[in-house]
Amino acid sequence: MKPSRGIDTWLWPILIVLLTVYVVYEHSTSPLAIDMGRQIDRHERLMAGNSEFFNPWQYRIFSAYLLETIINVYHLVLPGKPEAVPYIALHFAQLLAIFYLCLLYFRRLGLRNPFLQAAGLLVLCFCMSTSVFQSDLSFNTYFDILFYLAAAILILDERLLWIIPLTVIAALNRETSGFIPLMVLAPFAFRLSHYTRTQLFVSAVSMAVFAVVFVAVRVHVGYQPAVGIHGMTSPKDFLLFNITFFRMYPLLLGTLSVIPIMVLLNLGKLPAILRHWFWLIVPIWFLIHLVKGTAMETRLFLVPQTIVFIPSFLLLIDHWYAENLNSSTPLKKEWMA
């Protein structure tokens, strides 16, 4: 069943705007999140070169300098107005873009059912709105999601050369974008002859670009060892803290739900490219954030949730109905009556 032109013209923009408003509201007002005053203080400290957690916060410069530019223009045009407006405006814009690109991503993966597409956006809204524990507006995290979505769409559209400039911006934003150059090679193979010259060229150049940006930012800003909360430095410290922090488990369940488990149990039924992106991103992503991050801040897991788990779950539902709902199904007869 194809959506009517009225749905395409009116429903999707309205749905996306409403979902964006709700997520911004939750991120701005939840008592579990960091308040706006501390958000502003964190940004000002970063711009002064004195971040609360220097490594890695001080190296995530794209979103910080973009926000600073917006703040300067805002104060120039509307002097004396509330300080929080540029922060809320940028967050609204990036979330709006995430929902829009997510809809395009579902369609590129072959998900044609508009109700499943809408359900996917609703699930993503739920995931983002519940991932607020000890979180500020986390611009670099949500730009990370945005850049991964853009990369996935470019790869599915076979517009691979655009991955190179995208990698530059993504690397300036957050070090976790390092999987993007390797996404180009999916589905993976052991023989180079399996890949086109364009795939190999784009992946190699993108990896080199990522490495150059990664090192250059740290040389320019100045390197400091990473120190987590409570002075944690070693992977063992982080892992023990995470697995003994009981609240992490309900928080992760609240953000990711049981979708990752459902997908994992049905991994073999997924399209090859999603299976390969799963093995590329998910195991290492979860491991890194358990041994070098604070996993109770569940927004850290939104990239694999958005790129792999939610679309996979939707495709599993779509395929089940395609295979099991036929003319002999009583429910089908009721629908057709």
Write the single-letter amino acid at 234.
S
Mean pLDDT of the chain: 91
Give Cβ neighbours of residue 268 (< 8 Å, ≥ 6 apart): 275
Write the single-letter amino acid at 274.
L
Q: What is the pLDDT of residue 1?
A: 42
pLDDT tens-digit series, residues 190-245: 777 788 999 999 999 999 999 999 999 999 999 988 888 878 888 999 999 999 99
Q: What is the pLDDT of residue 53?
A: 86
Q: Provide DSSP, 252-308.
A: HHHHHTTHHHHHHHTGGGS-HHHHHHHHHHHHHHHHHHHHSS-TTSGGGGHHHIIII
Q: Is the pLDDT of residue 331 over 70?
A: no
- Cα(3)–Cα(7) distance, integer angstroms: 6
Q: What is the pLDDT of residue 3?
A: 45
Q: Is the pLDDT of residue 321 over 90?
A: no
Residue 288 neighbours by CB distance under 10 Å = 15
Confidence of residue 326 (pLDDT cuts 50, 70, 90): low
Q: What is the pLDDT of residue 187?
A: 83
Confidence of residue 328 (pLDDT cuts 50, 70, 90): low
- What does residue 94 show for φ and ψ, rounded to 5 degrees? -70, -35
Per-residue H/E/C for 27-59: HHHCCCCCCHHHHHHHHHHHHCCCCCCHHHHCC
Confidence of residue 151 (pLDDT cuts 50, 70, 90): very high
Q: Is the pLDDT of residue 138 over 70?
A: yes
- Cα(43)–Cα(312) distance, integer angstroms: 36
Q: What is the pLDDT of residue 7?
A: 54
pLDDT tens-digit series, residues 252-302: 999 999 999 999 999 999 999 999 999 999 999 999 999 999 999 999 999
Give Cβ neighbours of residue 292 (< 8 Å, ≥ 6 apart): 226, 228, 235, 238
Residue 61 neighbours by CB distance under 10 Å = 20
- Cα(184)–Cα(187) distance, integer angstroms: 9
- Cα(163)–Cα(167) distance, integer angstroms: 6
Give the residue extent of every domain in the chain: 5-314
pLDDT tens-digit series, residues 62-76: 999 999 999 999 999
Residue 74 neighbours by CB distance under 10 Å = 17
